[in-house]
Amino acid sequence: MKIDVLTLFPGMFAGPLDESIIKRARDAGLLELQLHQLRDWTHDRHKTVDDRPFGGGPGMLLKPEPIFEAVESLRREKTRVVLMSPSGRKFNQSIARELAQQEHLLLVTGHYEGFDERIREALADDELSIGDYVLTNGALPAMVVIDAVTRLLPGVLGDDTSSSEESFSAGGPGLEYPQYTRPAEFRGMKVPEVLVSGNHAEIAKWRAEQARLRTKEKRPDLV
Ligand SMILES: C[S@@+](CC[C@H](N)C(=O)[O-])C[C@H]1O[C@@H](n2cnc3c(N)ncnc32)[C@H](O)[C@@H]1O
């Protein structure tokens, strides 16, 4: 998969996307990630990307010209242009799965008070929010989307089943069951008997029940 990101802060992406699983996915060619500085599509001496909102009001808006030019030069036939914005649909695991099917994503990140509305109307195929709070710019939201999508790409996680057994995936939108590793007893806390029984049918039953109880207790909205 190819992901292009349009941003005013390419430096913010160094680190989170250069470590661990995402780094390995990039090194293996499973994810081709390219960061683009929005100011490269400006034509004035100050590389201006923002302007005051018509009608007044606080702050500055990203003006249309540089973003239109950038998207038009980066977009290909099968590109999904995704605007990062608190007004978008709320990002979740099922949207991550949907995006992981795409050939090419172009993530357009905002700053200041956000985008001139014509950018939203004419360029965006999708608009995503990572939650009901406001961040200073769209770099962190874009990184969240890139991380969640990349780990779903075939071959990225070592064990192909490991992303289908976890929260929001295993047969529904619920949470994952509790998990334990060695030692079987730690500071007086014992691993549930059934998990060391070797009875796989009983273990599966216990896990399904625990996942159901945990979801009901912690995230009743998902039940
Ligand atoms: C300060 S915010 C703009 C907020 C905008 N005035 C509003 O009320 O919706 C600047 C940029 O950060 C990004 N951003 C901030 N919070 C976000 C969120 N929860 N999800 C996705 N993007 C977000 C968007 O790209 C946005 O254009």
Ligand 1 midpoint to CA 178 (Å)? 35
Residue 56 to residues 21, 52, 59, 63: CA-CA distances in angstroms? 46, 7, 9, 15
Nearest CA to ligand 1 atom 9: 86
Q: What single DSSP character describes residue 115?
A: B
Ligand 1 midpoint to CA 170 (Å)? 31
pLDDT > 80? residue 160 = no
Of 85, 75, 77, 106, nearest in space to 5 by CA: 106
User: For a substitution probing ligand 1, which of 83, 84, 120 has the most ligand atoms within 8 Å of its CB?
Assistant: 84
Q: Is 171 left (phi over 0), alpha (psi -120 to 50) or beta?
A: left
pLDDT > 90? residue 173 = no
123, 81 in Cβ contact below 8 A? yes
Give 136's contacts (C-beta < 8 A, 6+ positions apart): 111
Rg of the chain, C-alpha, whole Å: 22
- Ligand 1 lined by 133 (C-beta under 6 Å): yes
Give 26-43 pLDDT, tens digit per residue: 999 999 999 999 999 999
Ligand 1 midpoint to CA 71 (Å)? 19
- Domains of the chain listed by start with CATH number: 2-150 (3.40.1280.10), 166-223 (1.10.1270.20)
108, 69 in Cβ contact below 8 A? no
User: For a substitution probing ligand 1, which of 85, 90, 109, 132 has the most ligand atoms within 8 Å of its CB?
Assistant: 85
- Ligand 1 lined by 141 (C-beta under 6 Å): yes
Rounded Cα distance between 18 and 25, Å, is: 10
Of 40, 42, 39, 59, nearest in space to 51 by CA: 59
Task: Report the relative pairing of strands 104-108 and 61-62 from DSSP bridges.
Answer: unpaired
Percentage of the chain with pLDDT > 70?
Answer: 98
Q: What single DSSP character describes residue 175?
A: P
Ligand 1 midpoint to CA 59 (Å)? 13
Give 39-78 pLDDT, tens digit per residue: 999 999 999 999 999 999 999 999 999 999 999 999 999 9
Instruction: Determine phi and psi for 115, rounding to 5 degrees.
Output: -105, 145
Give 79-136 pLDDT, tens digit per residue: 999 999 999 999 999 999 999 999 999 999 999 999 999 999 999 999 999 999 999 9
Task: Report the relative pairing of strands 126-129 and 189-190 from DSSP bridges.
Answer: unpaired
Q: Is 153 left (phi over 0), alpha (psi -120 to 50) or beta?
A: beta
Q: Is 217 helix (H, G, I), strand (E, B) or coil?
A: helix
The two three-digit tokens of residue 130, written as one number: 């990572």
Query: What is the crossing angle of helices 139-150 and 93-100, to 10°?
Result: 70
Ligand 1 midpoint to CA 54 (Å)? 19
Rounded Cα distance between 104 and 2, Å, is: 5
Average pLDDT, the chain: 96
pTM: 0.95
